[in-house]
Amino acid sequence: MAWGRSSKQAQRERQLDSELSFHLEQRIADNIAAGMSAEEARRQALIEFHGIERVKEECRGLHWENIVDSIFRDFVYALRTLRNDRRFTLLAILALALGIGSATVIFSAFYGVILNTFAFKNADEITAFYIVDQDRPANRRPNLTLPELVYYREHNHVFQDLSGEFGGFGGTPLVYSAGGSTYQFDGCFLSANSFELFGMQPLIGRLPTEDDVKPGAAPVFVIGAKLWREHFNSDSSVVGQSFTLNGVPRMLVGVMPPRFRWAWVDAWLPFSLDPNEIATNPDLKGKAAYVVGRLKPGVTVKEAAADLDVVAHQYARIEPRSYPKRFTVTAKRSSEEAVDGLGFSRLLYPLMAAVILLLLIGCANVANLLLARATVRAREIAVRAALGASRARLLCQFLVESLCLAAVGCAAGCLLAYIGIKVLRPLIPFNAFPQEAVIELNQYVFLFSLGMAVLSTLICGMSPAIHAMRLELRSQLTATGTSNLGATQGKLRSSLVIAEVALSVILLVSAGLMMRTFLRLQNMDLGVNPKNVLYAGLSFPRGVVQKPEEQQHTFELFFDKLKRLPGVNAVSATMSRPPLGGPATDLIIPGKVHGDDWRTLLELCSEGYPAVMQIRLLQGRFLSESDVTGVRHVAVVNEAFARRYFADQNPIGQTVKFGVFDRVPTLKDTYFEIIGVVSNTRNQRLNDPPAPQAYLAHTLLSMGYKAFVARTSVEPESLIPQVQQVAWDTDPHVAMINATSVDGFLQKFFYANSQFEFITLGSFATIGLLLVLIGIFSVMGYTVALQTHEIGIRMALGAERSRIVKMVLRKGMILIAPGLAIGVVGSLASERYLAHLFHEATPVNAGTYGGVVILTIVAGLVACLAPARRAAKVDPLEAIRCE
């Protein structure tokens, strides 16, 4: 390469030439002087010189410009050879891209969820702790009463500060009215010092401070970025406005950043940790707070627990009733705690292991491909070595070649990861990861994938390089190209294929299980028709409408209007959404022996319920309009109820009593007459059989909240704005909440997990299978390349082409069989672990296994086809002559 070479280098090259040829000339002259013939003198001198190119190479190697130059030449050479062998190059890049891509996707989830759960300043310092009953370790208390919290805050030596929160996770609905509309969102109370403790800056406005909660200060609150964006259209003028939340005016002072989701709510109301305030403020009386603290720098979690243990025992002497007899304090990083209970998070570790394995397999495949080529290129390498390429140069050449592959593979892998994350993110179940976690490609993830690329380069490049160097170079030039390769290497290659087949079988079986689970859940007959049903709740604000009669009246007015809304076919009150029944109660049937487990679920609804949910009437009649408006004490029961409690009797006309109503003064000791029996519905989630259930008039009870279902002739969620408006037209102080289609609810809470796990595992299993294809293809290709000579001889001796093809296919199957067996046995053995790991996995069945085995064998045959055809095309004369 003349390009890129400085004149200094060119001069150095000329001088090297001239210095060495001077030596040669002198030697020849001396040889002649010693009496040799001119020809002999030259011959002797040249022999002595052992390859002038090698000497030159070694001298060149002393200068870095030359090293750079030679690496550059290696690159050009590598690119040229890779371009010349397109099929090889594409396969190798595909294998690496799949490996690096899947590792990158999982690492981004791993990083986002496990390593960077929270966006707090020095999030590692945020620590939670519990009081654990030593006699019953499952009995652990994470909450402290507010006076307890104040005491801990004052007496510990390990925390910079402690934060307390209560009313989170949906426990504090905040209702506010504005311009004829009423809205509700979730809030919680957070101690005023917490905002500084977490150390996150607000998007706009300011954080609440302890001044905001001093006696006489105007109440303030902050909201989350999601609510600000979705409800306030990111309007920054809302900051500074006053909102009447549950009847109390509060000023909105700031918007928190998107990754602040403490207690999974949209608004945070600061409260004071001042002992006087706690003792006197009615809002704070008797409250217990979830507590976390920021550790002082250098304090470990264990040290914190030890210190808190002392504080807790001190406090236990003040307030012995709230502590177990023997207890201890354990502490845990909040980030670990947040991930602990969440479904998918625990899957990340095995998945991370699986994708690293996939990547290693991808590398092994590329190494195999390179090896196959190295065999074919053995002569070229031997020639290069003879022409003066040192071992380091040859190694460098191989590494440069695999670096080129890994670099392209890494870029393609990142692209795959980008697409993968984009596709997978909307499918992630809302409860799979902490809400604060963000899964994205960021600089750390890129660094990881670069690291993976470097690792792949080394793994892929080293083995063929070492292999090539072990070849007896001279024998490559003189003898046949198919020198005897070490048997151990062949074994290593085969075991790689066995490992990848086994892993991919396990992945396929898991994916098959998840697919079956998913399909089973999705196709399960719920007993209702969840399509085109809208569910929503009406929330009556405290302090505005008080009397139950008034609420009932409002609700009836709303119902009348809702029935007339275009697109709405039928409506009913309800207490629950399928596949959940209403509240459970114990049951008393006159004249029958009352068993402990005599229980039933209750659904408080109106006459439209069968029409909305499409349940069938089996006997008698359903509730009528007059039953509902007249608040009559009649009940309709489901089939399970009738079978269980009136197996040999006609249930119609029987009377029953529901224990839960004994607590309601107006309904104490009320007996209900059974007027009808309806078909069963799934009312205990998806997996359990339907439980007894009774349908009563919703007018029996009045609460601050009423839910309803409506069968629609259009997409249910498209009606939400209109239904909302109907509610406000009825009463501007009513907020509509939890509006969702029943389908959407089922998807979000019951199908999403298995769907996500099925898609994730399915993708990895597909990648695993592709890698198996590439792996078998490369090993078989290699075997055929090695045996070209042998195949030629066989053919020359009369072997038919079909026999050659069969031979190759047989070898391929022999390669797959042990992996298949190990994979099947491994899946069977890990069945219990898998069932535990995956959401509601269905038990293993023969169909899944059979399918996986057949799929793997077919894949193996496909991978063997090309090498087999190549073997069959071997021209006996060519094969023998070329050696």
> What's the closest the beta carbon of residue 378 comes to other proteins, in angstroms?
22
Residue 43 interacts with other proteins (CB under 8 A): yes or no: no
* Residue with smaller CB distance to other proteins, 32 or 52: 52
Contact segment (CB under 8 A) with other proteins among 13-21, 279-287, 316-324, 858-866 equals 13-21
Computed from CA positions of residues 851, 857, 859, 861, in that sequence, does the dihedral angle turn out positive or negative? negative
Contact segment (CB under 8 A) with other proteins among 48-56, 217-225, 594-602, 860-868 equals 48-56
Residue 17 interacts with other proteins (CB under 8 A): yes or no: no
Contact segment (CB under 8 A) with other proteins among 24-32, 220-228, 499-507, 666-674 equals 24-32
> What's the closest the beta carbon of residue 102 comes to other proteins, in angstroms?
45
Contact segment (CB under 8 A) with other proteins among 52-60, 346-354, 515-523, 816-824 equals 52-60
Residue 50 interacts with other proteins (CB under 8 A): yes or no: yes
* Residue with smaller CB distance to other proteins, 389 or 602: 389
Q: Distance between CA 437 and CA 444 in Å, rounded? A: 15
- Structure tokens that stand for 182 in this block: 């009423």
* Spatial contact of 324 and 133, defined as CB atoms under 8 Å apart: yes
> Please, which residues have CB within 8 angstroms of residue 77's CB and are 6 or more apart in sequence?
397
* Spatial contact of 141 and 315, defined as CB atoms under 8 Å apart: no
> Residue 783 is inside which H or E element, if any?
helix 752-796
* Spatial contact of 351 and 438, defined as CB atoms under 8 Å apart: no
Contact segment (CB under 8 A) with other proteins among 15-23, 189-197, 311-319, 352-360 equals 15-23
> What's the closest the beta carbon of residue 878 comes to other proteins, in angstroms?
39
* Residue with smaller CB distance to other proteins, 59 or 759: 59
Contact segment (CB under 8 A) with other proteins among 26-34, 207-215, 367-375, 443-451 equals 26-34
Residue 649 interacts with other proteins (CB under 8 A): yes or no: no
Residue 62 interacts with other proteins (CB under 8 A): yes or no: yes
Which residue in 17, 37, 38, 51 binds other proteins (CB under 8 A)?
51
Residue 63 interacts with other proteins (CB under 8 A): yes or no: yes
Partner residues linked to 653 by β-bridges? none
Neighbours of 833 (CB within 10 A): 10
Buried b / exposed e across 190-227, counting CB within 10 Å, b at 16+?
bbbbbbbbbebebbebebbbbebbeeeeebbbbbbbeb
Contact segment (CB under 8 A) with other proteins among 43-51, 199-207, 213-221, 652-660 equals 43-51
> What's the closest the beta carbon of residue 31 comes to other proteins, in angstroms?
12
Which residue in 55, 411, 438, 545 binds other proteins (CB under 8 A)?
55
Q: Distance between CA 824 and CA 852 in Å, rounded? A: 9
> What's the closest the beta carbon of residue 821 comes to other proteins, in angstroms?
49
> What's the closest the beta carbon of residue 480 comes to other proteins, in angstroms?
28
For residue 601, which of 541, 682, 704, 503 has the smallest C-alpha distance? Answer: 682
For residue 678, which of 639, 652, 649, 647 has the smallest C-alpha distance? Answer: 639
Contact segment (CB under 8 A) with other proteins among 60-68, 241-249, 433-441, 548-556 equals 60-68
Tell me the C-alpha to C-alpha distance, in Å, between residue 413 and each of 142, 503, 615. 43, 21, 51
Q: Distance between CA 180 and CA 503 in Å, rounded? A: 61
Binding flags for other proteins, 77-106, as an x/- string (CB under 8 A):
------------------------------
Tell me the C-alpha to C-alpha distance, in Å, between residue 274 and each of 160, 210, 337. 17, 9, 28
* Residue with smaller CB distance to other proteins, 23 or 346: 23
* Residue with smaller CB distance to other proteins, 44 or 442: 44
Which residue in 1, 4, 10, 19 binds other proteins (CB under 8 A)?
19
Q: Distance between CA 443 and CA 123 in Å, rounded? A: 19
Q: Distance between CA 397 and CA 741 in Å, rounded? A: 62
At residue 170's C-alpha, the angle toward residues 285 and 659, to 5°, is 80
> Residue 109 is inside which H or E element, if any?
helix 86-110
String of DSSP letters for 397-430: HHHHHHHHHHHHHHHHHHHHHHHHHHHHGGGS-T
Classify residue 286 by burial, with Cβ atoms within 10 Å: 0-12, 13-18, 19+.
exposed
Partner residues linked to 634 by β-bridges? 673
Which residue in 1, 4, 6, 30 binds other proteins (CB under 8 A)?
30
Residue 25 interacts with other proteins (CB under 8 A): yes or no: yes
> What's the closest the beta carbon of residue 63 comes to other proteins, in angstroms?
7
Q: Distance between CA 97 and CA 463 in Å, rounded? A: 20
> What's the closest the beta carbon of residue 46 comes to other proteins, in angstroms?
11
Which residue in 5, 9, 23, 732 binds other proteins (CB under 8 A)?
23
Residue 49 interacts with other proteins (CB under 8 A): yes or no: yes
* Residue with smaller CB distance to other proteins, 24 or 458: 24
Q: Distance between CA 277 and CA 219 in Å, rounded? A: 14
* Residue with smaller CB distance to other proteins, 59 or 316: 59
Residue 8 interacts with other proteins (CB under 8 A): yes or no: no
* Spatial contact of 775 and 497, defined as CB atoms under 8 Å apart: yes
> What's the closest the beta carbon of residue 33 comes to other proteins, in angstroms?
12
SS3 388: coil
Which residue in 6, 22, 240, 563 binds other proteins (CB under 8 A)?
22
Which residue in 6, 26, 122, 713 binds other proteins (CB under 8 A)?
26
Which residue in 9, 20, 548, 588 binds other proteins (CB under 8 A)?
20
- Structure tokens that stand for 526 in this block: 């719920």
Q: Distance between CA 209 and CA 869 in Å, rounded? A: 77
Q: Binders of other proteins: how many residues, by CB under 8 A?
A: 22
* Spatial contact of 361 and 771, defined as CB atoms under 8 Å apart: yes
Residue 36 interacts with other proteins (CB under 8 A): yes or no: no
Which residues are at the interface with other proteins (CB under 8 A)?
A: 15, 18-20, 22-23, 25-27, 30, 48-52, 54-55, 58-59, 61-63
